[in-house]
Structure 1
Amino acid sequence: MQLTFDSDVETFRAEFVAFLDEHLPDAAEADERPRSSAHVPEWARRWQRVQFDNGWLLPGNPPEFGGRNATILQQYVHLEELSKRRIYHSFNPQGLGIIAASLLSFGTEEQKSRWAARILRAEITAALGMSEPGAGSDLAGLRTRAVLDGDHFVVNGQKVWTSGAHDADVLLTFVRTDPVAPKHQGISVLLIPTDTPGVTRRPFPSVCAPDDLDFNEVFFNDVRVPVENVVGEVNKGWQVATGSLGHERTLLWLSFADRLGDLIEDFRPVTQLDRDRYATLVMDAQALRLLGSRALAREARGEQDVAALSVLKLLGSESVQTAAEHALSAEGEDGLVHPTTTAPYTPWNLDNFSSSWFERYVRSFAGTIAGGTSEIQRTIIAERVLGLPRH
């Protein structure tokens, strides 16, 4: 097994490192933190546009959409270098990784120009309207309705857990347009500007961060949306949904590997049980990187393996959660207290900068839900890897 990269990939890496050395904002310039996952401070908008204009925002994209047609291996080292410096290339992650990517895959040329390019250039931000009070992991159970009325759809219903919606300019919204169609059919996708009459956004805190307003309830009351805002085909929104989550999961395992490494580095084993758990986590981290490298090599050869991504998502998210749980246990009651830190502020250390182990543990549950729950991943593995019957 070759665990190094060819010269063209390393040349690509060196070019990106040089770009970062020249253009990365410093702490003095980056004086404002984002308040949600769809709020991008002005300094961060400038940083995102610089990346876009130089082809470093999403290198796998064509140049007109912030990239340079990079190979999957080049995309990997790009993310690796961002990870080494703990750098965010955007503070609107769902806008770039899911919504703009979905528009480039399923949208019209006008939608790509009007919406995707502007999201990528940080001229506007976007949020994802999928989950509902009765349709979280089971997206096909959504009940938000859109009824065709002339050249508009009239939307009524509710979304929840819509991260950053109160700061977003547009929502990529999944609605039911055929109420009598089978469960996975009759779904359509609409781009709904948040200033459209009838759209109400209500942010609410999470249990692990009471002062952090990112989650939202979103209500639609007779919201009129032009038919040209349909993404993909009417009643064929399930394909967009699966494509959206696919964009999110392609190299997701790398972020889990980084987070697991951070947790292991901060873990302070005391008892023999702690040391045994610590050793298991180190092995999990090594296994995750080796399996991820294997999947990366297969994709570089043009081989797609959805089941492998499910294995990586499951292993990565649950290993992070287990590491946080064991570290919290080792800390005992001290794990409930915010650590005292004298580390200087930087624009990138927003996650776990001064969080208690309890908060880090609670936050880990997001990883086992977002991008496809652990239960869904186990079902995929059971059917596609183990060959077990569906029922």
Structure 2
Amino acid sequence: MQLTFDADVEEFRRKFVEFLDEHMPAPGDVTERSKSSAHVPDWARRWQRLMFEHGWLLPGNPPEFGGRNATVLQQYVHLEELSKRRIYHSFNPQGLGIIAASILSFGTDEQKQRWAVPILRAEITAALGMSEPGAGSDLAGLRTRAVRAGAEYVVDGQKVWTSGAHDADVLLTFVRTDPTAPKHRGISVLLIPTDTPGVTRRPFPSVCSPDDLDFNEVYFEGARVPVANRIGPENGGWQVANGSLGHERTLLWLSFADRLEDLLGDFRPRTELDRDAYARLVMDSYALRMLGSGALAAAARGEQDTAALSILKVLGSEASQAASERALDAVGIEGLTHPAVTAPPPPLNIEHFSASWFERYLRSFAGTIAGGTSEIQRNIIAQRVLGLPRS
């Protein structure tokens, strides 16, 4: 077992730290905050573009797409250094980590230049149109239809929970193009500009943040989309979907580990019961780091273990939720209003650290849903780790 990184990885880290030390925006230059997950303030656009041009945006990408062909371990230390400073490299996370990544994986060269590069350079922002009122976790149940009409598709249907859609320039939208095929096989993926006639976006608040609008209902009524905007083959959307969520899950456990450690650092137990719960959460934190390190080592060897990522997703999201709940219980009624953290948020961090403990607890539920629900992850673990039958 090796608990340290090789010299090439540490040299990669050193160069990135030098870049951050030299180019980090000054606090006075970053006062405007993001209004949604697809709203990127001007200063944040400049910061993202600078990281792209220096190859530090997504270092695993080739240089023409904002990277430097970094190894898995080098990508890990890149995220580790961002985490230490609580820095987000983009205020449009789904655009960067899912949508641009999907276009690079499944799109044509023309699509990469037309759509992926502007998203990566923060010239445009993107939102993900997957969930529908009757198809949340079950993507294969989607009903939004796209009917081929010559060189266009005519799209009709509805999406919901579409984060940032009202501020986004384009939607990566999953649609049904063959209603007669088995439901997994009749899906296609379209890039739909949000100014397309027939597209209506209606933002709505959540119980976690009633004053912040991020979620959207999106309606498509006869929206005409060029066939050239299709990502991947017609009826090949299921493969794109799996690739999209794969991009989101690869190092997702690291964000949960950071969040859990933040919670443990901000909360101090008051009673014997609190101390017992706190000790369990500390053990969860160490377990998550150790299991994550094992998955990281496997990825560095070129091994792909989807089941291991599912285990990390369940452990990380549910441990974070448990930590938030224990902290709220300990604080008591004061947790409804008092900030969980009194220090101001770091300038490059999208999170609102002035939220009350109650708001922080409510937001923890998103972790068990986004990137694949805990229920779906348990199905994967049951089948691929325990060998249980699908039925």
Alpha-carbon distance in 2 for matches of 1:337, 1:8: 48
SS of residue in 1 equivalent to 2:381: helix
Residue 345 of structure 2 contacts residue 352 of structure 2 at CA under 8 Å; is this kept in 1?
no
Q: Contact 2:88/2:350 (CA < 8 Å) preserved in 1?
A: no
Give distance in 1, aligned partners of 2:348 and 2:17: 17
CA RMSD of aligned residues (A): 1.0
Contact 1:232/1:240 (8 A) holds in 2 = yes
Give the aligned residue type for 1:242: N
* C-alpha distance in structure 2 between counterparts of 1:152 and 1:6, whole Å: 52
For residues 291 and 166 of structure 2, what CA distance do their matches in structure 1 show? 38
- Structure 2 residue matching 1:28: 3-state secondary structure: helix
The aligned counterpart of 1:61 is: 61
How much does 1:341 deviate? 6.8
Summarize the Cα distance change of 1:20–1:90 in structure 2 as closer, same or farther, 3 Å threshold: same
The amino acid of 2:302's aligned partner reads G
- Which whole-Å deviations, capped at 9, do the CAs of 1:230-251 have from their partners, x for residues lacking one? 1001011000001000000000
CA distance in 2, matches of 1:197, 1:118: 22
In structure 1, the residue matched to 2:318 is 318
Alignment of 1:69-108 (within 5 A): 69-108=69-108
User: Partner residue of 2:283?
Assistant: 283
Letter in 2 for 1:45: R
- TM-score normalised per structure 1: 0.98
Per-residue displacement from partner, 1:202-231 (whole Å, max 9, x unpaired)? 011110111110000000010000000010
Structure 1: any 5+ residue segments left out of the alignment? none
- Give the Å deviation of 1:56: 0.2
Flag as ranges the 4+ runs of structure 1 deviating above 4 A: none
Aligned to 2:50: 50
1:33 aligns with 2:30: no
Q: Please give the alpha-carbon distance, in whole angstroms, between the structure 1 residues aligned to 2:363 and 2:98.
A: 21
8 Å CA contact 2:266–2:341 kept in 1: the answer is no
Runs of 5+ unmatched residues, structure 2: none
Aligned to 1:147: 147
1:296 aligned onto 2:296: yes
Tell me, what secondary structure is at the counterpart of 2:290? helix
Query: Following TM superposition, by how much is the alpha carbon of 1:32 offset from its aligned partner in structure 2, in angstroms?
Result: 0.7
Shift of 1:261: 0.2
**Are 1:164 and 2:164 counterparts?**
yes
Distance 1:341 1:288, change over 3 A: closer
Match of residue 16 from structure 1: 16
Task: Please say if residues 254 and 292 of structure 2, whose CA atoms lie closer than 8 Å, have aligned partners that are also in contact.
Answer: yes
The residue type equivalent to 2:361 in the other structure is: Y
Q: What CA deviation, in whole Å up to 9, does each residue of 1:67-126 have, x standing for no partner?
A: 000000000000000000000100000000000000000001110000000100001000
Q: Distance in 2 between matches of 1:372 and 1:129?
A: 15
Within a 5 Å distance, the mapping from 1:197-236 to structure 2 comes to: 197-236=197-236
- Shift, 1:267, TM fit: 1.8
Q: Is the 8 A contact 2:345 2:351 kept in 1?
A: no
In 1, Cα distance between the equivalents of 2:236 and 2:303? 26
Q: Does 1:270 align with 2:264?
A: no
What is the DSSP-based 3-state SS (H/G/I as helix, E as strand, rest coil) of the residue aligned with 2:155?
strand
Contact 1:27 1:345 in 2 (8 A): no
Indicate if the aligned counterparts of 1:129 and 1:162 stay in contact, CA closer than 8 A.
Answer: yes
Q: Which residue does 1:135 correspond to in 2?
A: 135
How far does residue 390 in structure 1 lie from its aligned partner after superposition? 1.1
1:169 to partner: Cα distance? 0.4
In the TM superposition, what are the counterparts of 1:355-374 in structure 2 within 5 Å? 355-374=355-374
- The answer on 1:2 being equivalent to 2:37 is no
CA contact (8 A) 1:245 1:371 kept: yes
Other-structure match for 2:120: 120
CA distance in 2, matches of 1:121, 1:357: 35
Aligned position for 1:254: 254
- Relative distance call for 1:342 and 1:275 in structure 2 (3 A) is closer
Alignment partners' CA distance in 2, 1:344 and 1:296: 33
CA shift at 1:342, angstroms? Answer: 5.9
Q: For the residues of structure 1 that align with 2:134 and 2:30, how far apart are their CA atoms?
A: 40
Does the CA-based 8 Å contact 1:352-1:360 persist in structure 2? Answer: no
* Cα distance in 1 for residues equivalent to 2:389 and 2:343: 53
Residue 109 of structure 2 corresponds to which residue in structure 1?
109
Paired letter, 1:174: F
Q: Do 2:48 and 2:90's aligned partners in 1 also have CA atoms closer than 8 Å?
A: yes
Work out the CA distance in 2 between the residues paired with 1:43 and 1:390: 49
Q: Contact 1:131–1:159 (CA<8 Å) still a contact in 2? A: yes
Distance 1:107 1:63 in 2: 18
Alpha-carbon spacing, 1:87–1:340, altered in 2? closer, same or farther (3 Å): closer
1:181 corresponds in structure 2 to 181
Provide the rounded CA distance (Å) in 1 between the counterparts of 2:324 and 2:345: 24
1:272-309: CA deviation from partner (whole Å, max 9, x where unpaired):
11111000000000000000000000110111111000
Shift of 1:350: 4.0
Q: Is the 8 A contact 1:148 1:154 kept in 2?
A: yes
Aligned residue-pair number: 391
Q: Please give the secondary structure, in 2, of the residue aligned with 1:94.
A: helix
Q: How far, CA to CA, are the matches of 2:150 and 2:58 in structure 1?
A: 38
Identical counterparts, % of pairs? 79
TM-score normalised by structure 2 residue count: 0.98
SS at match of 2:203: strand
Cα offset, 1:344, TM superposition: 4.2
Moved more, 294-303 or 334-343: 334-343
